[in-house]
Amino acid sequence: MGEYGTPNIDIEEGYITIEHNGRKDTLPYPKQPGSFYHLSKVHDSHNIHFACKIWGLRATDLNQGVVYGVLTEETGMDEMFINRLDYDGVFGTALNRFCIQAAIGHPLTVYGKGGQTRGFLDIRDTVRCVELAIANPADVGQFRVFNQFTELFSVGDLATMVQKAGSSMGMKVEIDHLSNPRVELEEHYFNAKNTKLLDLGLQPHYLSDSLLDSLLNFATKYKYRVDEKNILPKVAWRRS
Q: Measured on CA atoms in the order 112, 189, 122, 160, is the torsion positive or negative?
A: positive
CA 111 to CA 185: how far, in whole Å?
11
220 falls in which pLDDT band (50, 70, 90)? very high
Mean pLDDT of 97-117: 97
CA 124 to CA 131: how far, in whole Å?
11
What percentage of residues in the chain have a pLDDT greater than 70?
100
pTM: 0.93
94 falls in which pLDDT band (50, 70, 90)? very high
| Per-residue model confidence as pLDDT tens digits over 57-91 | 999 999 999 999 989 999 989 989 988 889 999 89
Mean pLDDT of 141-146: 98
Residue ranges per domain, the chain?
64-136+148-230
Cβ pair 13, 145 in contact under 8 A: yes
CA 88 to CA 151: how far, in whole Å?
24
Instruction: Give the pLDDT score at 236.
Output: 85
CATH 3.20.20.70 fits domain 64-136+148-230: no
Q: Is pLDDT of 239 > 90?
A: no
- As a whole number, the mean pLDDT across the chain is 95
Burial class (CB in 10 A: 0-12, 13-18, 19+), 39: middle
237 falls in which pLDDT band (50, 70, 90)? confident
Q: Is pLDDT of 6 > 90?
A: yes
What percentage of residues in the chain have a pLDDT greater than 90?
90
Instruction: Give the pLDDT score at 83.
Output: 80
Mean pLDDT of 193-199: 98
13 falls in which pLDDT band (50, 70, 90)? very high
List, as one string, the DSSP characters of 50-112: HHHHHH---EEEEEE-EEE-S--TTGGG-GGGPPP---STTT--HHHHHHHHHHTTPPEEEET
